[in-house]
A and B are shown apart, each in its own frame.
Chain A
C-alpha cells in the first residue's frame, strides 16, 4: 500500500538523519530512487535543486513533494508526518523531563556546559555558509553582502526577514546588470 510505503520511506531518513535536514538527502535518495523507484536519479537531483532554491527546511520539502507526487494530498501528509513526527515526539518527552528538573543544580550545570559545544557547531556552520557564499557569489559580492547585512541587522536593527528580502532584491537586480 502506497501510504505505508511512503510512511516507511520517510520514517527511516527521519530517524537516521543525524545532523538536520541536509543530512537526510542521501538517505531519502536511497529510499525514493533505489528502493521504491518513485523517481530516477536525474529527477531526484532536479527536486533537490528546486528544494534548495526555495526557503524552509529541506527534508520536509522533499517529503511533501514525493508524497504528493505519489499519492496526492494525503500522501504528502503521511510522508511529512513520518519525517517529522517521531523525532519531535522524542524531543518533547526528553525536554519535558529536563524542564521538570530545571531548578536542579545539575540541569543548570548542563545548560552552562552544553553552551560551548553549541558555540562550536554554530561557528563551524557560519564558516560553511561563508565558503558556500564565496563559491556562489565570488569574493567581492560576499564581502559586500556580509558587511551590508551586518550593518543592517546589528546597527540599523532591521528584522532579518527585511534584510533577506533586500538580499533577494539585490540578487535579482544584479542578474540584469
Chain B
C-alpha cells in the first residue's frame, strides 16, 4: 500500500503562513514596545498594515477606536483581536502569547535573579533613549490620522472635529471612551429615529 502523501491545500498552507506571520509580528511588537502598551500602537500599525497587510488603514483605525472604548490593556486587546480577525481562535492565542509571555518571563527573571541590574544607570539610560524613537513613531502615526481625517471628510470639518474632540477630552476631561461612544451615538441616531417612524 502506498502511503498517501498529504498535500496541503492552498487554504491550509496560507493559514500556516498566517500563524507564522502573527507569531513573528506580535513577538516584535511585544519585545520592542518600550514605555508600556500605548507605545506599541505604531509598532502594531507597522506589522498589521504596512508589513503583512492584514488590514487597511481604515480597519486599523476602527480597531484602535474600539480598543480605546474598552477597558483593559490596549496592546493585548489589539494583539488578541487582530490575531482573531486574521486566523481565528488559534490566531488569537498565538498573537497574545508571543506578545505577552516573553516580557512576563523577562520581568520575573529580572526581579528574581537580576534584581541588582534594574538600578544600573546603563539599563535606565537604554530605556530612556528609546522614548524619543517612540515619540517619532507616534507623531508620524498621529499625523497620518490627521491627514486622513482631512482627506475623507474635508479639512474644515476635520479641524472642527479635532478641536471639539480635544476640548472634550483635555479641557472638559471627558474620558475618551465616552467621546468615542458619543460619535457612535451620533452616527447611528438616524437609524433609531427611522425605525421609530416605521413603527
- Mark A residues whose CB is within 8 Å of B: 14-22, 24, 46-47, 49-61, 63-65, 68-69, 76, 80, 83-84, 86-88, 90-92, 94-95, 98-99, 106, 109-126, 129-130, 132-133, 136-137, 141-142, 145-146, 149-150, 153-154, 159-161, 163-164, 167-168, 170-172, 174-176
Q: A51-B107, A121-B176, A141-B132 are in contact. List 19 more A-B contacts (CB 8 A).
A: A14-B73, A18-B177, A21-B74, A53-B124, A57-B36, A84-B80, A106-B190, A113-B186, A117-B169, A118-B65, A120-B162, A122-B141, A122-B142, A124-B169, A149-B135, A164-B34, A171-B130, A174-B125, A175-B122
Q: Are B162 and A59 touching (Cβ within 8 A)?
A: no
Contact string against A for B residues 123-150, beta-carbon threshold 8 Å, 1 for contact and 0 otherwise: 1111111111111111111100110110
A–B complex contacts, Cβ < 8 Å, 9 sampled: A53-B118, A54-B106, A88-B81, A118-B65, A119-B162, A161-B43, A167-B129, A171-B122, A171-B126
Q: Which secondary structure characterizes the binding site on chain A?
A: helix
Q: Note all chain A residues with C-beta closer than 8 A to B126.
A: 167-168, 171-172
Q: Are A88 and B37 in contact (CB under 8 A)?
A: no
Closest 5 CB pairs of A and B: A56-B103, A87-B72, A64-B104, A171-B129, A145-B132
In B150-176, which residues have CB < 8 Å from any A CB?
A: 152-153, 158, 161-162, 165-166, 169-170, 175-176
B 47-85 to A, binary, CB cutoff 8 A, 1 in contact else 0: 000000000001001111111101111111100110011
Number of A-B pairs, beta carbon distance below 8 Å: 329
The yes or no answer to B96 lying at the interface (CB within 8 A) is yes
| Cα-based distance from A172 to B130 in the complex (angstroms) | 11
Residues of B contacting A113 with CB < 8 Å?
153, 161, 183, 186-187
- Chain A hits for B190, CB < 8 A: 106
Interface centre among B36, B84, B108, B139 (most CB of A within 10 A): B36
Expressed in whole angstroms, the Cα–Cα distance for A142 and B145 within the complex equals: 24
Q: Choose among A76, A120, A170 the residue with the greatest number of B CB atoms under 10 Å from its CB.
A: A120
Chain B residues with CB under 8 A of A110: 62, 183-184, 187-188
Distance in Å: Cβ of B116 to nearest Cβ of chain A: 11
B21 to chain A, nearest CB (A): 15
A91 touches B107 (CB 8 A): no
CB of B34 to closest CB in A, whole Å: 5
A64, B99: Cα distance in complex, Å: 13
| Given A116-B158, A118-B61, A161-B32, A129 contacting B131 (CB threshold 8 A) | yes
Structural contact, B32 and A55, CB atoms closer than 8 A: yes
Our pick among A47, A115, A141, A142 for the contact of B152 (Cβ within 8 Å) is A115
Task: Among B31, B66, B169, B187, point to the contact of A95 (Cβ < 8 A).
Answer: B66
Chain B residues, CB < 8 A from A65: 104, 107-108, 111
Cβ–Cβ contact B111 & A50, under 8 A: yes
Tell whether A168 pairs with B129 under 8 Å between CB atoms, given A84-B96, A122-B41: yes
Residue among B73, B106, B111, B131 with most chain A CB within 10 A: B73
Q: CA separation between A14 and B80, bound complex, in Å? A: 15
Q: Report if B110 contacts A (CB, 8 A).
A: yes
B35 within 8 A of A: yes
Q: A164 touches which one: B32, B64, B175 (CB < 8 A)?
A: B32
